[in-house]
Amino acid sequence: MTDKTHDAQVQTVTANGSPQSQSATEHGRTKRRRRMARATDASVAMEEALPPRPSKLDQIAALIGRSGGATIAELTAATGWQPHSVRGAIAGALKKRGLITTSAVVDQVRRYRAEPAG
């Protein structure tokens, strides 16, 4: 038993007005291929044009790597994370990256600082 929809003919008219027929599946595939090719070309061009965005861990590392360090409030504002998530990232993920983190209370606010290990 064959599926009749795959055997259907599509009647199109060329630029000079003469009819041209092709199967529905060929017609759909061609349009889909063109659309996908355009989308792929656009996405490749977009990826080449934009520099890679730093991750939130990279943002935290940059902020606490400054000379004055950073407060939890500054880190949560930069990442959109909850304070406990920021503290966990400092204690875990940044330590695994090889950063030595320290904290000190300055003007009644705890500031976190980091320096490379070794």
> Residue 48: how many CA atoms within 13 Å on its side-chain side?
6
More confident residue, 9 or 108: 108
| Domain that includes residue 104, residue range | 56-116
Q: Residue 88 is part of a domain; what is its CATH number?
A: 1.10.10
Residue type, 66: R
What are residue 19's phi and psi, to 5 degrees?
A: -75, 145
Q: What is the mean pLDDT of residues 89-109?
A: 92
Q: Based on the domain organization, do 79 and 95 belong to the same domain?
A: yes
Indicate the pLDDT class of residue 15, thresholds 50, 70 and 90: low
Q: Based on the domain organization, do 107 and 60 belong to the same domain?
A: yes
Q: Based on the domain organization, do 26 and 77 belong to the same domain?
A: no
Instruction: Show Cβ contacts of residue 12 under 8 Å, excluding neighbours closer than 6 positions.
Output: 19, 20, 21, 22, 27
pLDDT digits (tens, 9 = 90+) for 60-75: 999 999 999 999 999 9
Q: Based on the domain organization, do 110 and 60 belong to the same domain?
A: yes
pLDDT at 4 over 60: no
- Joined tokens for residue 81: 């994370």
Q: How many CB atoms lie within 10 A of CB 51?
A: 6
Q: How many domains does the chain have?
A: 2
pLDDT digits (tens, 9 = 90+) for 77-94: 999 999 999 999 999 999
Q: Based on the domain organization, do 14 and 61 belong to the same domain?
A: no
